[in-house]
Amino acid sequence: MLSRHHRSYSKDVESTTTDSMLTLESVSAGCSEGNFVPARKALRDFATRAIHVGQEPDDETGAVAAPIYATSTYVQRELGANKQYEYARVSNPTRNRLERNLASLEGGIASRLFASGMAAINALCTMYKSGDHVVCGRNLYGGVPRLFNNVLAGYGMEFTYVDTSDARNVECAIRTRTRMVYVETPTNPLMELSDLAAISNVCRSSKVDLVVDNTFMSPYFQQPIALGADMVVHSTTKFLNGHSDGLGGAVVCTKPEHAERLGFVQKAAGAILSPFECWLVLRGVKTLAVRMEQHDRNGRLVADFLSHHKKVKKVYYPGLSDHPQHDLAMRQMNGFGAVITFDIGELSNAQSMVKRLRVCSLGESLGGVETLISHPATMTHAAVGENGRREIGITEGMLRISVGIENVEDIIVDLNQALEAI
């Protein structure tokens, strides 16, 4: 871990020469003076489970890597007698392995896999019906309100958006027909946090399901089920996969009835994750623990650099001591992660900066080993509309960076030279 007394280095990065490069020992991310230590005891067997649960050697051949069962159907011994599998939409051995793995990592009883994160969210919403009401965070990935408002509302579901950073807002928004509270924490892209323990108490007293999107933190840095969540959603495309080479989504359940219902939805609607993409995530989660450690280490350093740069107006990162919910982050999370949003004022500034990037790449998505920068106003939250973005605080000069696991000095030098173009 980083030392308690690192200096910040805004003055050290004045050029792109090697003289401006830094070492991990030279700086903290301004995160509580570098004294935040992840809860190692709680995670002591996480890496072992990530590598071994659902990833057991193949019984038939002894293969260490899980096989990819690229089959659409299975031979049956006789009428009504299959060998556990009958049709690939219903179940597949590779998919079953990953479902067991993710359930273990999140602390659930089962997980169900879908073709994308949005397919997973849509699937869990099929557990509710016309007239049911959902309380949602006001600051969600733009595709979620698009699904809720433009698709599901047409079937009679109702949605209310509130600031979930205060559990009292959730409590006030709950109605007689409220069936679910849907929360992202941290939010995309403003990195606002919700107190999951407090919200789960509200949901429990009202007999409402709490669903948490844990994509940004991964189960390595945040355990929503341990804090009272009923279901956890992931875009497996992001940190779980970790290599930007496959789409996927997951819902981790704590109740048998939810797991059973979602299994039925897999069979009935068919938006399942393919065996190959299941295998990609199985491969990815084997290194999740070590990747998240490096993402977090680099993220802290990049956040501190940005927070001291004269061209940056504001940085949104819960690891910084001036983040309004930094104390909650210290309690609720085992790390601060790699996703940072920063504001450089105007759209023209954002355009100028991203054109100069050489190590970092401009693109949607996050959570890969490479550093990606996106522009929320024209990418992830374009569908929200100008008024919607203004209401939740997304500006045209705002950029979101998913810090990769490259050499952090190279990332910082690249960001610095690009910022100097403004």
Q: Which of 412, 418, 401, 411 is nearest to 349 (CA)?
A: 418
**Annotated catalytic, 11?**
no
Give bridge partners of residue 73 from the DSSP assignment: 87
CA distance 269 to 421: 49
State which H helix or E strand residue 75 sits in: none
Active-site position among 238, 286, 300, 389: 238
Judge whether 89 counts as a catalytic residue: yes
For 336, the 3-state DSSP assignment is coil
Residue 57: how many other CB atoms lie within 10 Å: 12
Q: Residues 49, 89, 100, 313: which is the catalytic one?
A: 89
C-beta separation of 388 from 376 below 8 A: no
**How far is C-alpha 109 from the geometric centre of its chain's CA atoms?**
20
Q: How far apart, in whole angstroms, are the C-alpha atoms of residue 277 and residue 259?
A: 21
The three-state secondary structure class of 341 is: strand
For 253, phi then psi, to 5°, come to -110, 155
d(CA 307, CA 321): 11
Give the chain's end-to-end CA distance (angstroms, integer). Answer: 34
314-to-86, 177, 311, 329 alpha-carbon distances in Å = 55, 40, 9, 19
**Coil, strand, or helix at residue 110?**
strand
Q: Which residues contact 145 (CB under 8 A, 6 or more apart)?
A: 136, 159, 161, 383, 384, 388
Q: Is 141 a catalytic residue?
A: yes
> Which residue is catalytic, options 69, 128, 141, 220?
141
Please pick, among 213, 230, 304, 414, the residue that the annotation labels catalytic. 213
Handedness of CA 44, 340, 285, 370 (dihedral sign): negative
327 phi, psi to nearest 5 deg: -65, -40
Give the C-alpha separation, 179 to 126, whole Å: 12
Residue 355 among the catalytic residues:
no
> At residue 114, what is the residue type?
F
Q: Which residues are catalytic?
A: 89, 141, 213, 238
